[in-house]
């Protein structure tokens, strides 16, 4: 079986070779001390701790100044910790937030308000927030349609309303400048060419948060449990590389997106034409049968709506929030390009998808 053309970079990204190399010393067996517990006081433990701290700095370099990085298992944990540990009060979040935000907010038991989005997927930055809001959560880049939110202005408005601003920057971290003005930022390594199983919560200095779980008090008491130096080192190396390559990656993805759009010119783009991350293209075509397209194009890894929501049969919450009818949402696909995607892969995949759609009579 030949490897598929991978166009699902919003679901996850491949591990960068540089990140893998950074991880290997910390995955070795008894012949080296790479397996040592980074919380141990002996020399091997201190070496592992130094690798963790170097990674923390590399990750922090993707985030605003004036805050600290707490390592977590991923963005879902970071978002849960943020929402559960800040002062109580109504939580407002955009209608296109990831389920990690929506379900974590609802689980706090706080009053939850959904902020509407327009047909481009944008929250109006002048939107009224609920009276006494404790937290306003709006993501930086949407995982389904790639819309980039005006987070700096939204953070300013949240502060004027006396609320903290939480930004799920999972899809933007390492790709765009960090969200300005946020108090809490959640990111994850596996969307920026790092390993799965590690993420971070960034907390602005002066913002008090508490732990989600109790235990040995690691991460200054805010996230108990033994850290994995391998995961931290892989995350750090991926972050450093992303920072170094930010402009090159952006140019590369912009080129791929414009080629895809020219091949799929008869398809309609979902979301914003301009305020969008070029690595994400969500398209629809009237009458398109997604399961059939997926089966006809087995050598292309792409998705409908979001990877998390697909398979439930329900139309995408994000696509319906931007005003698409359930039918139009079901006629949609998401193509996600990445650093290692080639122009030839985009051309082959887009031509094959368009031909398979024509064969369906679309
Ligand atoms: N937020 C967004 C926008 C995402 O795309 C994802 C992953 O799909 C998450 C949060 C959850 O991240 P993690 O897999 O690290 O828990």
pLDDT digits (tens, 9 = 90+) for 247-280: 999 999 999 999 999 999 999 999 999 999 999 9
Distance, CA of 186 to CA of 275 (rounded, Å): 21
Question: Which one is predicted more confidently, 87 or 66?
Answer: 66
**How far is 13 from 235, CA to CA, in rounded Å?**
12
311 pLDDT above the threshold of 70: no
Cβ atoms of residues 125 and 153 within 8 Å: yes
Cβ 288 vs Cβ 298: under 8 Å: no
* CB of 143 closer than 6 angstroms to any ligand 1 atom: yes
| Closest among 66, 70, 114, 68 to 90, alpha carbons compared | 114
Average pLDDT, the chain: 95
List 112, 167, 308, 362, catalytic entry: 308
Give me the pLDDT at residue 296, please.
97
Residue 310 has pLDDT above 80, yes or no: no
What is the chain's alpha carbon radius of gyration, rounded to the nearest angstrom?
21
Q: Per-residue pLDDT for 62 more than 80?
A: yes
What is the distance in angstroms between the CA of the first residue and the CA of the last residue of the chain?
Answer: 29
What share of the chain in percent tops pLDDT 90?
Answer: 91
Residue 78 Cα: closest atom of ligand 1: 16
Q: Does the CB atom of residue 74 touch ligand 1 within 6 A?
A: yes
CA of 171 to the centre of ligand 1 (A): 8
With a 6 Å cutoff on the Cβ, whether 188 touches ligand 1 is yes
Structure confidence at residue 227 (pLDDT): 98
Give the pLDDT score at 30: 82
Q: What is the pLDDT of residue 313?
A: 67
pLDDT for 218-251, tens place per residue? 999 999 999 999 999 999 999 999 999 999 999 9
Burial group, residue 41, by CB count within 10 angstroms (0-12, 13-18, 19+): exposed
Statement: residue 308 has pLDDT above 60: no
Beta pairing partners, 99: none
Active site residue 167: no
Pocket mutation for ligand 1, best pick of 12, 13, 82, 98 (most atoms within 8 Å of C-beta): 98
Ligand 1 atom 5 nearest Cα:
143
C-alpha 324: how far from chain center: 23
Among 2-16, 22-36, 45-59, 187-201, where is mean pLDDT lowest? 22-36
Would you state the pLDDT for residue 305? 65
Provide the pLDDT for residue 181. 97
Q: Is 277 left (phi over 0), alpha (psi -120 to 50) or beta?
A: beta
Residues in the chain: 362
pLDDT band at 28; cut points 50, 70, 90: confident
Q: Which residues of 132-158 are buried (b: 16+ CB within 10 A; e: fewer)?
A: ebbbbbbbbbbbbbbbbbebbebbebb
Task: Pinpoint the alpha helices (H) of the chain.
Answer: 17-23, 43-60, 75-85, 99-107, 151-160, 229-263, 290-296, 317-321, 326-330, 343-359
What is the tens place of the pLDDT at every residue in 146-161?
999 999 999 999 999 9
Q: Whose CA is nearest to atom 8 of ligand 1?
A: 11
Residue 315's pLDDT is 86
- Checking if the pLDDT of 358 tops 90, the result is yes
pLDDT above 70 (res 1): no
Strands of 268-269's sheet, edge to edge? 268-269, 280-284, 332-336
């Amino acid at each position: 079986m030949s490897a598929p053309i991978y166009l699902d970079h919003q679901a996850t990204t491949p591990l960068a070779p540089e990140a893998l190399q950074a991880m290997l010393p910390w995955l070795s067996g008894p012949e080296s001390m790479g397996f040592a517990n980074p919380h141990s006081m002996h020399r091997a433990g201190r070496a592992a701790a130094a690798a963790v701290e170097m990674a923390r700095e590399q990750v922090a370099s993707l985030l605003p100044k004036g805050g600290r990085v707490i390592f977590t298992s991923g963005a879902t944990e970071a978002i849960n910790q943020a929402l559960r540990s800040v002062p109580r009060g109504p939580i407002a979040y955009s209608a296109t937030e990831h389920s990690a935000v929506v379900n974590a907010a609802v689980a706090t038991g706080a009053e939850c308000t959904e902020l509407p989005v327009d047909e481009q997927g944008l929250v109006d930055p002048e939107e009224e927030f609920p009276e006494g809001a404790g937290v306003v959560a709006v993501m930086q880049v949407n995982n389904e349609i790639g819309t980039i939110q005006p987070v700096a202005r939204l953070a300013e408005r949240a502060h004027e309303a006396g609320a903290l601003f939480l930004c799920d920057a999972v899809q933007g971290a390492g790709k765009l400048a960090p969200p300005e003005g946020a108090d809490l930022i959640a990111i994850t390594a596996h969307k920026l060419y790092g390993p799965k199983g590690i993420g971070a919560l960034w907390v602005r200095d002066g913002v008090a948060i508490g732990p989600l779980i109790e235990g040995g008090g690691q991460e200054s008491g805010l996230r108990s449990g033994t850290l994995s130096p391998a995961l931290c080192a892989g995350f750090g190396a991926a972050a450093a590389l992303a920072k170094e390559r930010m402009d090159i990656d952006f140019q590369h993805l912009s080129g791929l997106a414009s080629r895809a759009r020219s091949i799929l010119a008869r398809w309609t783009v979902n979301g914003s034409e301009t305020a969008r991350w070029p690595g994400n293209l969500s398209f629809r075509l009237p009458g398109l049968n997604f399961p059939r397209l997926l089966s006809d194009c087995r050598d292309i890894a792409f998705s409908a709506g979001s990877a998390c929501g697909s398979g439930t049969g329900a139309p995408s919450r994000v696509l319906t929030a931007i005003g698409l009818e359930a039918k139009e949402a079901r006629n949609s696909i998401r193509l996600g390009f990445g650093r290692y995607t080639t122009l030839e892969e985009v051309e082959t995949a887009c031509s094959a998808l368009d031909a398979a759609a024509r064969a369906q009579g679309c």
